């Protein structure tokens, strides 16, 4: 073998290795592009399914428990819809100045009194129009010291997520799982007992499990099934107090914190396609055509 042959062989081998590397890189990139396209297609289809479920959920004649609210196979593709009502949640703008309300709630959450006072005062300072700091609250100087210049806005909350920016309150909320499920800005006034969650009935009215079950059984009607023709709603808070057998402090709390007014239908529709999920949440009023809020994720 001459010298040229000896040099050519390594060059050829290097060239083969280089081409192999290029082929592998191209293959990986093609797979990535294919995966991206597949994910995008699944996401698009999942949103279509979520919209399909939403169409059923917004219809005033469809109630929770209706078979139309679920379709497909969880392992492949389909949709599922949850219906609730915003009137069963807490509007922090409504209750911000009511220390009795938040004291009761924070006590049920096992928040120490000092932290509870600071959270309540800071929420008041965030919402009220003046710049005078409450005893344990926070105004401009405290927010600047915390690296949050420009706060508080001294106006009502415009988004529930703003509560996570309220000094002292955000530390309380950080310890509570799914706290956003208890709050809304789309319903003013007291909490509608017909739509209140079991935790809120226990936390704010001090109701026991058997009392909450009595309220639930009454609303389900004789057949004990949700979304059927014999479902009932309380029209007077006194009736709910009687069915629950609430007396003393329980009855007083139900009277002060709950009523039977308000309606704002919340529809959460989740479309899923082979592991890819799209969720659309809409809050409507009246016959479902008046949209108060629309969120996609």
Domains of the chain: 46-90+261-297 (no CATH), 92-183 (1.10.40.60), 190-260 (no CATH)
Q: How far apart are CA 194 and CA 129, in angstroms?
A: 34
**Residue 222 has which token pair?**
């004789």
Please give the average per-residue pLDDT across 54-77, as a whole number.
Answer: 91
Who wins on pLDDT, 1 or 270?
270
Contact status, residue 288 vs residue 58, Cβ threshold 8 Å: yes
- Report whether pLDDT(84) > 80: yes
pLDDT in tens, 8-38: 656 666 666 656 655 566 555 544 454 556 8
Q: How far apart are CA 22 and CA 30, in angstroms?
A: 12
**Where is 266: in which H helix or E strand?**
strand 265-273
Q: How far apart are CA 195 and CA 186, in angstroms?
A: 14
Per-residue model confidence (pLDDT) at position 245: 97
Q: What is the pTM of this model?
A: 0.82
Per-residue model confidence (pLDDT) at position 30: 47
Please give the average per-residue pLDDT across 248-276, as a whole number.
Answer: 96
In percent, how much of the chain has pLDDT > 70?
A: 88
Please give the average per-residue pLDDT across 86-97, as a whole number.
Answer: 95
Judged by DSSP in three states, 258 sits in: strand
Per-residue model confidence (pLDDT) at position 22: 53
Contact status, residue 230 vs residue 279, Cβ threshold 8 Å: no
The values of phi and psi at residue 192, to 5°, are -75, 115
In percent, how much of the chain has pLDDT > 90?
A: 75
Per-residue model confidence (pLDDT) at position 21: 58
Please give the average per-residue pLDDT across 253-263, as a whole number.
Answer: 96
Cα angle 198, 200, 206; round to 5: 90
CB atoms under 10 Å from CB of 126, counted, come to 26
Please give the average per-residue pLDDT across 143-151, as a whole number.
Answer: 95
pLDDT in tens, 98-133: 999 999 999 999 999 999 999 999 999 999 999 999
């Amino acid at each position: 073998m001459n010298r040229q042959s000896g040099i050519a062989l390594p060059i050829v081998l290097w060239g083969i290795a280089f081409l192999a590397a290029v082929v592998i890189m191209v293959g990986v990139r093609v797979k990535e592009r294919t995966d991206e396209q597949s994910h995008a297609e699944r996401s698009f289809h999942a949103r279509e399914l979520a919209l399909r479920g939403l169409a059923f959920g917004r219809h005033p004649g469809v109630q929770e428990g209706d078979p139309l609210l679920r379709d497909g196979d969880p392992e492949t593709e389909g949709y599922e819809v949850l219906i609730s009502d915003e009137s069963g949640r807490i509007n922090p703008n409504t209750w911000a100045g009511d220390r009795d309300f938040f004291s009761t709630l924070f006590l049920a959450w096992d928040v120490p009194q000092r932290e509870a006072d600071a959270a309540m005062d800071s929420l008041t300072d965030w919402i009220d129009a003046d710049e005078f700091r409450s005893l344990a609250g926070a105004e401009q100087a405290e927010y600047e010291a915390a690296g949050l210049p420009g706060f508080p806005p001294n106006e009502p909350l415009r988004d529930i997520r703003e509560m996570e920016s309220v000094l002292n309150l955000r530390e309380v909320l950080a310890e509570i799982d799914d706290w956003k499920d208890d709050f809304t800005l789309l319903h003013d006034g007291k909490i509608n007992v017909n739509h209140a969650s079991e935790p809120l009935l226990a936390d704010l009215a001090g109701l026991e499990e058997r009392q909450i079950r009595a309220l639930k059984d009454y609303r389900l009607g004789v057949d004990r099934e949700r979304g059927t023709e014999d479902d009932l709603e309380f029209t007077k808070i006194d009736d709910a107090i009687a069915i629950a057998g609430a007396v003393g402090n329980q009855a007083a709390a139900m009277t002060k914190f709950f009523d039977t007014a308000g309606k704002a239908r919340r529809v959460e529709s989740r479309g899923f396609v082979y592991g890819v999920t799209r969720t659309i949440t809409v809050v409507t009023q009246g016959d479902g055509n008046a949209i108060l809020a629309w969120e996609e994720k």
